[in-house]
Amino acid sequence: METYKEKIATNDKAELIMASLDSSEDKAEAWANEVQFPWPTVLKDDLEKTDIIDHKGRGVPHYVLVDKDGEALVTGKDACLAKIAELTK
Amino acid sequence: MKVSILHLLLASVLTLPLHVQARTWTSADGSKTFKGDYIKHTEETITVMKGLQKVSFKLSLLSEADREWLRQKDLQSKEPAEAAEPTEDELGKFGKSISRKLVMFSGKKYGKYKLESAPDYYLIYFTASW
């Protein structure tokens, strides 16, 4: 959460999108209520209706940095954050 | 054809601008007040509906408080409009794809969310609570 606040929330060239893989909206909502997620989210039932599904990995957590046309640039949390810093400095 | 006074009054009320604002106005020396609906003003004059009569007079006849209210009204009207939503071109193919499916947790439940700007990059974070 702190990393998000420091490196994404203050960066108008990048946005974090949470792709929720929780099996139901109720579960996703219960978790969000516990953690108070501050970022935009796409819920599981809608993932296949978006281009996000093209980037789904084999497990979670899974991070992918894409450009605005959906081209994957890098994967992995640290690599993504480093790339964002490089691309948006 | 006869047009009754009632018809004229009704017509004048029905054609009132939608932005009228009721207010008690005070004279410059503070000795008199009257209730009237604000219609419009310029740098020198103001127009209000006093009862069913539209009247215009010089701003200098109004109290400082009333003139300050008008100045604030001017400032509000000059404030920039809310930022427009990003266009589909600005969002790009990926942004456009997700834009209608985004939700945000509001503290109690998820609700629809719209991107306020068009970022160049999206960090997708796949996760689950299980």
Task: Quickly state the pLDDT bin for B43 (edges 50, 70, 90).
Answer: confident
pLDDT of B76 reads 80
Global pTM exceeds 0.80:
no
For chain A, say whether B34 makes contact (Cβ under 8 Å): no
Cα angle: A5, vertex B91, A78; to 5 degrees: 35
Contacts of B115 (CB under 8 A, 6+ apart): A15, A40, B85, B86, B91, B95, B99, B102
Residue ranges of domains in chain A, CATH in brackets = 2-88 (3.40.30.10)
Give the lowest-confidence range in A56-60, B14-18, B61-65, B97-101. B14-18
ipTM over 0.95: yes
Q: Give me the residue from B101, B125, B127 closest to A49, CB to CB.
A: B101
Q: Do A21 and B126 meet the contact criterion of CB atoms below 8 Å apart?
A: yes
Alpha-carbon distance B78 to nearest alpha carbon in chain A (angstroms) = 26
The verdict on A26 touching B (C-beta cutoff 8 Å) is no
Domains of chain B: 5-78 (2.30.30.700), 83-130 (no CATH)
Average pLDDT over residues A29-43: 94
Residue B6's pLDDT is what? 53
Shortest distance between the Cα of A2 and any Cα of chain B, in A, equals 15
Other beta carbons within 10 Å of B8: 11
pLDDT digit string, tens, across residues B84-124: 789 999 999 999 999 999 999 988 899 999 998 899 999 99
